[in-house]
Amino acid sequence: MRPLQPVRGTQDLLPEAARRHRRVAETARDIAELYGFAEIATPIFEFTEVFSRPIGETSDIVTKEMYTFTDRGGEEITLRPENTAGVVRAVLSDGLIQYTPLKFFYQGPMFRYERPQRGRFRQFHQIGIELIGVAQPEGDVEVIALGSRILDTLGIRQRTVLELNTLGDLASRTAYRDALVAYFSRRISELSEDSRRRLERNPLRIFDSKEESDQCVSSEAPLFEEYLNATSRNFFAGVCNGLDHLGISYRLNPRLVRGLDYYTHTAFEFVTSDLGAQGTVMGGGRYDGLVELLGGPATPGVGWAAGIERLAMLIPEPPGPPRPIAVVPIGEAAEAAALTLTEALRNSGCAVDLGYSGNVARRMRRANRVNARVAVLIGEDEMARNVVAVRDLDSGEQSEVPMDLSLTELRARLQTFYD
């Protein structure tokens, strides 16, 4: 029998990695609350149509990457590959659409069957923002500013570049789509089989292809900006002006697109060169057509998502937990007293580690292994004299401290080790 290992594309979050993840998620949640965004949590699996309908039956996500299965009731279920569609589904099914604008923050695991690489896994975790019901460019500015502040607070904003583009309104997209069909049709022999299929459904998705031949053809395709109408140009100018007003720097990238039909107007990514070729750490845009695709009324929306794993790789090492107090009973008679003392110290807000078995030497080795700051030793002699021995595990110095029911003297003595 082979040794059991995590499934390919998954990982165990051991304590150090978990601290990094928690730092990212908690920082994002705190800043989202400053902007008035409330946390929402949707199921990690949905009916498949929640994702296939808006993402598109021909997209790589649907055809190649979704974890889809039939449950015991015969329903087709999919582990969520992203969370925007799930949040919009929740807004509709829970009757929240009448209360727009709605501002949501989320964090949690997503699932895609793709080739694992640095910072990318088949089970991965995201933080995200959704602003639903705001049609003005100020909404785009706010969610970008929120993302920028999170990156800044994590200490990595200066290592990223905000790339910005516009996808225009529906009329502009239609004109651009016609131009792309004409262009790619002339070079169809150079496209991969997947991109030939995309050409029939949505030629914008050809820009998402990782095939070298497709990327070469795409690099010479017409630019979106050549097909923008006045409404689209004015909207994008409003976004740019708002970012300028807030002092948020950006770089225009005319090749930055979102291939899904429900995306309109603003598209953006925060990218870094510190993670290799796959440098996007946060990306999003406006999705004014998504609510309607899922059966709701025409409702604007804008948001972004960011991979926690990739952000966690970039942040400084978070501080570890406070060094605990090790309570060490000496002899069987002291076990119950040590257990009572441990709980009393925890009730006072102290982090305490109690070894479960072994002689004094073994328990002291455990105290060193858990990086305890101080050890409190209690045995029959100490119990008889109503004292405990307090040992400084950094210096080795030891002294006795009287015990009382309120632990006043002991808590005061222990506090000196953490000042």
Spatial separation of the C-alpha atoms in residues 308 and 362, rounded to whole Å: 39
Phi, psi at 197, each rounded to 5°: -70, -40
CATH of the domain at 378: 3.40.50.800
- Single-letter code of the amino acid located at 357: S
DSSP 261: T
Alpha carbon distance 192, 190 (integer Å): 7
User: pTM for this one?
Assistant: 0.89
- Per cent of the chain over pLDDT 70 is 96
Entry field: residues in the chain: 419
| CA–CA dist 323, 314 (Å, integer) | 25
Tens-place pLDDT, residues 39-89: 999 999 999 999 988 776 555 666 678 999 999 999 999 999 999 999 999
pLDDT at site 294? 93
Task: Classify residue 210: in a domain, yes or no.
Answer: no
Q: Are residues 277 and 341 in the same domain?
A: no
CA 63 distance to own-chain centroid: 24
Residues 48 and 139 in one domain: yes
Same domain, 329 and 383: yes
pLDDT tens for each residue of 198-217: 887 788 888 877 788 888 98
Cross-strand pairs, 79: 45
289 and 334 share a domain?
no
**Tokens 């002006």 — which residue?**
241
Q: Does residue 306 sit in the same domain as residue 276?
A: yes
Three-state DSSP at 343 gives: helix
HEC profile for 18-64? HHHHHHHHHHHHHHHHHCCCEECCCCCEEECHHHHHHHCCCCHHHHH
Domain-embedded: residue 222: no
On the question of pLDDT at 117 being above 70, the answer is: yes
Co-location of 364 and 385 in the same domain: yes
- Condensed to tens digits (0 to 9), the pLDDT of residues 299-345 reads 999 999 999 999 999 998 898 889 999 999 998 889 999 999 999 99
Judgement on whether residues 256 and 279 belong to the same structural domain of the protein: yes
Checking if the pLDDT of 358 tops 60, the result is yes
Could you write out the DSSP letters of every residue in 137-197? HHHHHHHHHHHHHHHHHTT-GGG-EEEEEE---HHHHHHHHHHHHHHHHHTGGGS-HHHHH
Q: What is the mean pLDDT of residues 86-107?
A: 97
Judge if 244 and 338 occupy the same domain.
Answer: no
Percent of the chain at pLDDT > 90 equals 66
Domain carrying residue 383: 325-415
Residue 320 maps to a domain: no
pLDDT at 351: 94
* Tens digits of residue pLDDT in 153-209: 999 999 999 999 999 998 998 899 899 999 999 998 888 988 888 887 788 888 877
Q: In angstroms, what is the C-alpha Rg of the chain?
A: 28
User: pLDDT digit string (tens) for 389-414?
Assistant: 999 999 999 999 998 877 888 988 99
Q: Is the pLDDT of residue 7 over 80?
A: yes
* Final residue before a domain boundary, out of 293, 314, 335: 314
Question: What's the pLDDT at 277?
Answer: 65
Q: Which residue has the higher pLDDT, 116 or 291?
A: 291
Tokens of 371: 């990086």
Clarify whether residues 305 and 347 are in a common domain.
no
Q: What is the pLDDT of residue 406?
A: 79
Residue 397 dihedral angles phi and psi, to the nearest 5°: -70, 145
In a domain, 377, yes or no: yes
Nearest CA-CA partner of 306 in 417, 148, 196, 78: 148
pLDDT, residue 259, reads 63
On whether residue 203 sits in a domain, the answer given is no
Number of domains in the chain: 2
Q: How many CA within 13 A on the CB side of residue 132?
A: 27
Residue 151 counted as domain residue: yes
Q: Is the pLDDT of residue 119 over 70?
A: no
Same domain membership, residue 353 and residue 310: no
Q: What residues contact 46, with CB distance under 8 A and at least 6 apart?
A: 77, 78, 80, 85, 86, 89
| Residue 186: inside a domain | no
pLDDT at res. 63: 63
Instruction: Say if 183 falls within a structural domain.
Output: no
- Which of 314, 343, 361 terminates a domain? The answer is 314
Residue 264 sits in the same domain as residue 345:
no
Give the pLDDT band of residue 92 (cuts 50, 70, 90): very high
Mean pLDDT, rounded, of the chain: 91
Closest Cα to residue 129, out of 268, 238, 233, 23? Answer: 268
- 353 and 307, same structural domain? no
Instruction: Residue 19: name the closest of 31, 9, 29, 27 by CA.
Output: 27
Residue where one domain finishes, among candidates 254, 284, 314 = 314
Q: What tokens does 215 get?
A: 């990327």
Cα angle 95, 96, 101 (rounded to 5 degrees) comes to 155
* Edge-first strand listing for the sheet containing 251-252: 38-39, 102-111, 123-132, 301-307, 280-286, 264-271, 161-166, 251-252
